[in-house]
Structures are given as structure tokens and as C-alpha cells.
Amino acid sequence: MIQAAEKEDGAEVMPLLHAAIGSIACSLAGVDDEAEAMGILAVFYEQEGNRISYQNVIVDKHDGVITGILVCYGGDDAAALDRPFIERIELETGRIGYSITQETQPGEFYLDSIAVDEQYQGMGIAKALMAAFEAKAIEAGYSLVSLIVEEYNERAHALYVKMGYVEDGVLEVSGHVYKRMVKRPMAAEEVD
């Protein structure tokens, strides 16, 4: 069942988030070790007002177990949602002027991360999560959704193309090249 994540879901959400973002966790946390980064991000998950806050996470649950996650937010809010990460890095390390690459643009509703537990892949969970994401975008008043996908991730790219996303340039994040993809989602009544 697709639903909003809860603060208490962190222990199940974080491994899936790590599977989705990999080394980007280090960029968000400002550390080199992914395990340390994920510990820092686990704290941010339970807080409000940042990109990976439980408030921005949609989950799929089967028999009380989280089988998939999707992190999303409005591009208009991206800089503000990254500010808590930058403030922590500046406070903890003394590094001034730290920046996080903006993966989305104003006017877009952004799919930041998506992951489905390996045991549940192939069951349509990713498609259901993406449908919920697109519905949330429309509900929030956005007419354009976006995401990025690593160039080598052909399986994900094929899914996004099948779901109507088109390429819209490239972006480098944490030393990796990503394809930007966009779509104009349709409300349920437009599909019928």
C-alpha cells in the first residue's frame, strides 16, 4: 500500500535510500565514508525541512514491511531543503562556502530518489510509487516533474521512458554524469 512515510520508518527507509543515492550521501553529509554519511542522514530523515525528511518520502508497505521508497519535493524549495545540510557541514567542519548541486529547477516537482527492496522488484512497486509521485505533483500545483538517472542505468532509464519521461540534458552530481528527464503528468480525470 502506497502511503506517506512516518518518522518511525527510518530504520527501514535508510537502507533503501542508501541503495538509491549511494555516494551522493557523502555529498549531503559532507563526509567521505558512506556508513558515516548514512548515520548523519538518518538524523535528518527524522527532522523536518530538509530534502530527505520523512515529510518528503512516500513508501510502499506490504504486511507492515516497507518494500519501496520515493523521495520527492518541489524544485522551488530545493535550495531551502539543502540549507540544513550545508549549515551542519559548515558548523561541524568549519568549511565555508560548501555547496550541493541543485538537481532540479524551480517550477518542477522533483523525484529525488526511488528504490525497491530486491525481494519485491518486478511487482510494479516502482511504477506505483511514481504514479503517487506524479499525483502528488499535480496536487501541489506542478505541471512538470523531473528526475535524474545515471547514464549507465539502462533499466531505470527504460522504465522512465516507458512512463513518458523525455531527456532534458545532462547534469554532474558527486562526480557522476546523470541524464535529466522530465514529464508533464496528467491528472487521473485526463487519463480516463
User: Which residue pairs, CB below 8 angstroms and at least 24 apart, start in 21-29?
Assistant: 21/113, 23/174, 23/175, 23/176, 24/173, 24/174, 26/174, 27/100, 27/101, 27/173, 27/174, 28/52, 28/82, 28/85, 28/100, 29/85, 29/88, 29/89
pLDDT of residue 67: 97
Closest CA to 30 of 46, 14, 41, 19: 41
Return d(Cα 6, Cα 28) in angstroms, integer.
21
Q: Quote the pLDDT of residue 128.
A: 96
Number of domains the chain is built from: 1
The domain containing residue 130 runs over which residues? 2-191
Residue 26: predicted pLDDT: 87
Q: What is the pTM of this model?
A: 0.91
C-alpha grid cell, residue 186: 496528467
> Would you give per-residue pLDDT tens digits along the chain (192 residues)?
999 999 999 999 999 999 998 888 988 898 989 999 999 999 999 999 999 999 999 999 999 999 999 999 999 999 999 999 999 999 988 888 888 888 899 999 999 999 999 999 999 999 999 999 999 999 999 999 999 999 888 988 998 999 999 999 999 887 788 999 999 998 655 544
Q: Output the pLDDT for position 9.
A: 97
The CATH number linked to 37 is 3.40.630.30
Query: What pLDDT, on a 0 to 100 scale, did the predictor assign at position 52?
Result: 96
> What phi-psi label fits residue 119: left (phi over 0), alpha (psi between -120 and 50 degrees) or beta?
alpha
